[in-house]
Structures are given as structure tokens and as C-alpha cells.
Structure 1
Amino acid sequence: MRRHYGMDWLRIGAFGLLILYHIGMVFVPWPFHVKTAQPFDAAKVPMVLTNAWRLTLLFVVSGYASRALFARSKSLSAFLRNRNLRLLLPLAFGVTVIVPPQSWVQLVTQAGYPHGFGYFWLHDFFRFGKVHGLALPAWNHLWFVGYLWLYTLALGLLLLLPQRERLQRAFDVAFGGWRAVILPIAWLLLTQVELFTRWGDTQDVIGDGIAHLAYFPAFLFGFGMAASFPVMRAIGHYWRPCAVVAALCIAFAMAVEIGWPGNALPPPPLSDLYQGLRYVETWAAIVALIGLAERYWNHDLPIRATLTEAIFPFYLVHQTIIVVTEYALRPLSLGPAAEFAVLVVATVLGCLAFYYGGRGIGWLRPLIGLRAAKRVVEARPATG
């Protein structure tokens, strides 16, 4: 595969937006691991910009990246070994080391947990039960890594099928032309609205079946799209009208958030329309963003390679930095604007320190999602 720089930029942007979204979660009334002492309900309105499509987009770009990795692998088994190491090791390290401060802050601020972090980590985090109503151990934002690993294993089973090239040809036919837009929207409306009603995710592998019906096909779509000229051509043709549709859906969602503040929902049939348009917006926005990446972002810059490598370590650690920083800011009563600015700066600096500090330590690199350092073997001088 030829490298598509636009999709690299889209992946970087998708994770960057997710980090900003998680900072915003501190201020809005939606459940989160730590909440500001000065809620700012109006923050929900800009968060609506990405609320519907941010996670589905992550699975699409992850599927695309997986195809690039598969194309560079010597075999299917080599591809799966690589994905096991690059996903399972950071997941285990994250659950053991990175996530526990989030759970401790959540219990202290929301349940009156009386003990310090050291006691909590040694005695309660690995209890495999509930502590003050919170199930532990938790993986919090790292559920995405777990889901991605499971979807990669399922993909591996599909790639074991004989004459797997036929699957790619079938994908090209099924999603060529207008079908690249309409069929995914129809699938989302059928599975997320008509057959089942999904407003959010449980982040529980076993109990999150409805979300799997959205995320796993999105991952497979990204994998197939990476080698499909007909589908990329269709997206290049339809991305502008999709951008208009997504913008109209976002405007409607913003109006709902303004009209029904807090956690309130409008009454039926307006709530039904709101839910349906969320999934129309999801795929329309994704098509529009891929089209933008194809049309305008498919060029390289010196910083791209570093950001491409850094974005996964950023994802691993960002939420813990947000939660711990907000815990320290709560007593200061800075006000929402100042608090948001401090959180952004602290998160960026913390992520940079985590990445640059970890990438120089050979044994730590695989634990934070980086490739193992290449060994340099010095040639011995010839002896006579």
C-alpha cells in the first residue's frame, strides 16, 4: 500500500479531538471520573460537534491503519503477533498502572473513599468486586484498546478464509458509488435505532452487543476501504453533500441541547428524530472527514511521523492526567475558562513528557504502545 498521509492526519486529529472531548467531560453534567466544582452546562453545546461520530471514526481509521500494517507484514501470523504485542502489553500496563489514579479520584470525590492512593492500589483496585459501588479493577478509557484487540482477532479469522481476495472484491462492489454513504447509514439506523435503542456504550465487552454492531463493521469498513479504489473514489465524490448533511444534523443537536439543558431529553417524537439524526450525522461526518483527508490533507510534513507515533501513548495517558489535574484544581475555584486552559496545558505537557520520557527507555517502549527499539549490532573488526 502507498502511504496515505491524509488518513494519518485524520487519525491524529481524531485522537486529538477525543482528548479535548475528555477535558470537556469535566464540566458537563454527563457522568465522568471527576467533575469540576463549578459546572458549566453550556459546554455541552460545542461538545455536540463530535459527540455522535468521534468513536466510530476512531474504529474506521484504526481499521485503515490495520490494513497498512497487514500489508507490511510477512504473514497473517506475523500481523497478529504484532497486534497482540502492540495492544495487549499497553492494555495490561494501562490497567495496572495508568488507570488506578482515575478510579481513586472518582471514589474520593464521588463516594467519600477514606484512604490514600497507595492503600487503594494495594488493597482495593484489584479486588475484582465493587468498592463503594464502583466495579474494580477498571479499564476506563482503555476499553477502546480492548475492543480493538478483539476486533483484530475477529479480522484474523476472516483473513484465514480461502480466496480472501474475493472478500475485497465483494466489498468494492457492495460499497461502490452512492452505497458507500447510504448502506452504512441504513445499517446504523437499523441496528442502533430500529431494532435496538442505543444512547451510549456500556464499555463492557459482554454487555455491549449493540455497540459492537456499530464499531466492528466500522473497523471492517476502514480495513476494506484502505485497499478499495472504488470506495475511496465514491467518498471523494460524495463528501461535500455529506458535510452539509452532517452540519445540519449538528445544528439540530445543538438546538436540542440548548432547549433541553442538563441531562433532559425532548419528548417523543422529537427525541426519536434526535436519535435517528445522530446516526445519520455519524456516517455523514465520517465520509466528509475522509473526503477532506483525501482531497486536502494527503501530503507530508516533518512533524507527521512523530505525531503518528506519539498519538497512541498520548491516548493511553491523557485521561489520567486530566483526572488527576482536575482533582488538584477543584479546591482552587479558578472558574471554568481558567480551569479549562490549565487542563489543556497540563494534558499536553503531561502527554509529551510521557511520550518523550518513555520512548528513550527500551523496556518501557512496548508498554506505552511503541515498537521495541531496534538492536544495533556492531561489526567486530577482522582478525588476522
Structure 2
Amino acid sequence: MTAINTRRYDIDWIRVIAIGLLLIYHIAIGFQPWGLFIGFIQSENSLSSIWTPMSMLNVWRIPLLFFVSGMGVFFAIRRRNWKALIKERTGRILIPYLFGTACIAPLHIIILQHYYGTKMTYIFNPGHLWFLGNIFVYVLLLSPLFFYLKKHENGKIGIAIKKVFQSPFGFIIIVLALIVEVLMVQPNPYELYAQTWHGFFLGLLAFLFGFCCVYSGKEFWIFILKWRWVLVLVAVGLYVVRYFEFQLNSPDYLMATETCFWVFSVFAFGYKYLNKPSGALSYLSQAAYPVYIIHMAFLYLGSSLIFPLAIPVTLQFVLVVAFTFVGCFGFYELAIRRLWFLRPLFGLKMKAKAE
């Protein structure tokens, strides 16, 4: 596969940033008056003002990760056959998913039960790790197509995909596909991705289109780079309409359109400013995945310790953010990264001895 043969540091950065935003978003839910309703430990004092930026993130933070995951498969299959890809993705995705479902996600549920004085019960549930299960299914479903495109890069289908995604028609197709998905599935609400058919089909489309965007070559990225200001201005405009005209509940077809403009605004500006290596990226790109897996346990633990304190709600938010990030990265650095038997359970390559 000749398209985009150099490492794309911007895609690595976007993945890291998206996971960081995911942590902040989950922390912020605990400060909303409906946090407990969806299973989060909730502060008695709401911080409703942060819902404004949260609602902006809501329509694109998860789709962005699905796009990035599809792009990642493109790079993964350049030097792998289908057996090697399934083996690699089993180790990197399926094993952490199963381990997390059995041993990590139940932890924050137990912390929630203890905090509210309910019966402490072990619940086998993927929780926030539903995303990993989806990704592994997408790999299985789409690998035949991806390897066909790899083998027949200069065939009619491969050339057609490149031509389409090297032009504005590629972006239009993505927008229309996401609109069709919501019109058919009719999610309620649009932002409910976890363990829903909407989340599954939206993720499948984003995963497929993420692959196609990178497969099409450099021209696609030049196109979105050229139109980056239009992309972001339309995204902001759609959010403003959603906020003022529809009180954040605009029709699904508008939300799907807004999703696409935000996602490709991020890709365009990332391509311009983030496509460069750095020591921080090398560290964070490895740490981000284990941190994502364990963050809910530290978030719930921090919330259970900090929410009872008689301190201003803004300070509570700052302390929960600090506790979650320090706890996650501390556990990653002191345990996950250094203990060989933990590394594969969190998606890292096993090493002969601790680092």
C-alpha cells in the first residue's frame, strides 16, 4: 500500500487528546444534576456551566475515536496479513476488553454502591469499555474488505475509493451516510453511543470511513487542510443553532452533520499543527490506552473522597480532575508499564522484564 507510508504523528496526537477529553467529560458528568441517573457518583452541588462545552464535545468526541481507530487499522495492515492482524488486535483489544469487563469496570460500580450505601454486588459488565468490543467486531467484519483493497490497490474499487475521497464528494458521502444512519436508527438521544445500535452503526461507518480517508492518500488531507476554516466555522454555526434554536436538542440529521464538521475540523487543524514527533507524544501515545481502561475506577474513587468535603464546587472539580489524572498516570507508571504480567492485560506488548 503506497498511500501515506510515513508515520502520521497528528493522528497519534488526536487519539491522545481525544482520550484526555473523554476523561474530562466523564469527570464533568459527576457535576451535573442528572449524573446519578446514568450511574455516576454525583456531587450535591451542580456545576451546570460546564455543560455548555460538554454539549459541544458530545456529538463528536466518540465518533472521532472511531475514525481514528479505522485509520489505525490502515497503518496496521501495511506489514501484516489478516492472520497477523487478528492476532495483534486480539492481544491489543480483545484481551483488555475481557479483562476490563471482568476486573476493571466492576470496580467503579462497587465504589458507587459503597458510596450510596447500597448492597455491594459484583456485576460483569463492560461499562465504558464497550468501545473496545465494538472496535474488535469492526475489525472482524471489515478486515476482508480492507485486505482486498490492500491487495487490489490499483483495481477498479481501490481507484474509485481514492478518486472519491480525494475530492469533496468523499466528505459529502460521509455526511450523507451519518444522516441516513440516524434517520434509520432514530437514536434517543443522539449522544447515547454506549451499547446502543446507534453507537454500533455510527462507529462502524466512522471506522470504515477513517480507513478510506487514509487509504485515499495525501490529497484528502490537502483538501480538508485547504477548507479547514470553512469546516470549523460551519461546525461552530451548527452548534450555535443547536444551542439557541433547539436548546441543544436539534434534529438528528443536523447533529450528524455537525459531527462530521467537528471531526474533520479536528483532523484538518491536527494535520497542520500536530504532525511532528515529540518525546511527550511517545510517552502519551503508549499511556493513553491503559489510562482509558482504568480511569473510571480512579474517577469514582476520587469522587467518593472529595464530594463529601465542605469546599466550593469549583474546587471539587479541580481536585477530582487532579486525583483522576494523577491516579491513572501514577498507576500506569508504577504498575502497568513496569510489571510484565500486567502489560498485555492493558494492551501493551509484553516484555521480558520490567522497564
Deviations 1:243-276, CA, capped at 9 Å, x for gaps: 100111222333368xx5xxxx7xxxxx5x4433
2:27 partner amino acid? I
Change over 3 Å in CA distance of 1:177–1:7 after alignment to 2: same
The question of whether the paired residues in 2 share the 8 Å contact of 1:103 and 1:138 is answered with: no
Q: Which of the residues 250, 265, 282 maps onto 1:305?
A: 282
The question of whether the paired residues in 2 share the 8 Å contact of 1:168 and 1:224 is answered with: no
1:320 partner amino acid? A
Structure 2: how far apart are the matches of 1:170 and 1:336?
55
Deviation at 1:375, TM superposition (A): 7.3
Q: Which residue of 2 aligns with 1:19?
A: 23
SS of alignment partner, residue 108 of structure 2: helix
Q: Which of the residues 111, 123, 130 maps onto 1:143?
A: 130
Q: Which residue of 2 aligns with 1:371?
A: 349
Structure 2: how far apart are the matches of 1:202 and 1:8?
23
Q: Which residue of 1 aligns with 2:50?
A: 43
More helix by share: 2
Residue 183 (str. 1) matches residue 169 (str. 2) = no
Residue 171 (str. 1) matches residue 161 (str. 2) = yes
Deviations 1:342-382, CA, capped at 9 Å, x for gaps: 11111111111121121111111111121111579xxxxxx
Larger Rg: 1
CA root-mean-square deviation: 2.2
Q: Which residue of 2 aligns with 1:331?
A: 308
Structure 1: how far apart are the matches of 2:260 and 2:25?
19
Q: Which of the residues 225, 250, 253 maps onto 1:276?
A: 253
The question of whether the paired residues in 2 share the 8 Å contact of 1:33 and 1:105 is answered with: no
Q: Which residue of 2 aligns with 1:252?
A: 241
Structure 1: how far apart are the matches of 2:165 and 2:213?
9
Structure 1: how far apart are the matches of 2:126 and 2:160?
37
Structure 2: how far apart are the matches of 1:350 and 1:227?
38
Deviation at 1:178, TM superposition (A): 1.1
Deviation at 1:45, TM superposition (A): 0.9
Q: Which of the residues 328, 337, 344 maps onto 1:351?
A: 328
The question of whether the paired residues in 2 share the 8 Å contact of 1:177 and 1:234 is answered with: yes
SS of alignment partner, residue 192 of structure 2: coil
Aligned length in residues? 340
Deviation at 1:297, TM superposition (A): 1.3
Q: Which residue of 2 aligns with 1:212?
A: 200
Structure 2: how far apart are the matches of 1:333 and 1:278?
39
Deviation at 1:202, TM superposition (A): 5.9
Deviations 1:271-317, CA, capped at 9 Å, x for gaps: 5x443322111000111111111112111122111111111011001
SS of alignment partner, residue 331 of structure 1: coil
Deviation at 1:217, TM superposition (A): 1.2
Structure 1: how far apart are the matches of 2:352 and 2:216?
33
The question of whether the paired residues in 2 share the 8 Å contact of 1:28 and 1:41 is answered with: yes
Q: Which of the residues 232, 241, 254 maps onto 2:230?
A: 241
Question: What is the TM-score with the length of structure 1 in the denominator?
Answer: 0.82
Structure 2: how far apart are the matches of 1:330 and 1:375?
40
Question: What is the TM-score with the length of structure 2 in the denominator?
Answer: 0.89
- More deviation, 92-101/6-15: 92-101
Deviation at 1:329, TM superposition (A): 1.8
Deviation at 1:108, TM superposition (A): 4.2
Deviation at 1:196, TM superposition (A): 3.1
Q: Which of the residues 106, 131, 140 maps onto 1:100?
A: 106
2:44 partner amino acid? A
2:118 partner amino acid? Y
- More deviation, 326-335/4-13: 326-335
1:155 partner amino acid? L
Identity rate, percent? 26
Deviation at 1:161, TM superposition (A): 4.2
Structure 1: how far apart are the matches of 2:245 and 2:297?
31
Q: Which residue of 1 aligns with 2:41?
A: 34
Structure 2: how far apart are the matches of 1:59 and 1:177?
22
Structure 2: how far apart are the matches of 1:52 and 1:29?
20
Which ranges in structure 2 are unaligned for 5 or more consecutive residues?
A: none
Q: Which residue of 1 aligns with 2:118?
A: 113
The question of whether the paired residues in 1 share the 8 Å contact of 2:174 and 2:209 is answered with: no
Deviations 1:146-204, CA, capped at 9 Å, x for gaps: 11111111122324548543443332123231123222111112221x33322243633
SS of alignment partner, residue 226 of structure 1: helix
Deviation at 1:69, TM superposition (A): 1.8
Deviation at 1:239, TM superposition (A): 2.2
Structure 2: how far apart are the matches of 1:338 and 1:375?
41
1:310 partner amino acid? A
1:22 partner amino acid? H
1:241 partner amino acid? V
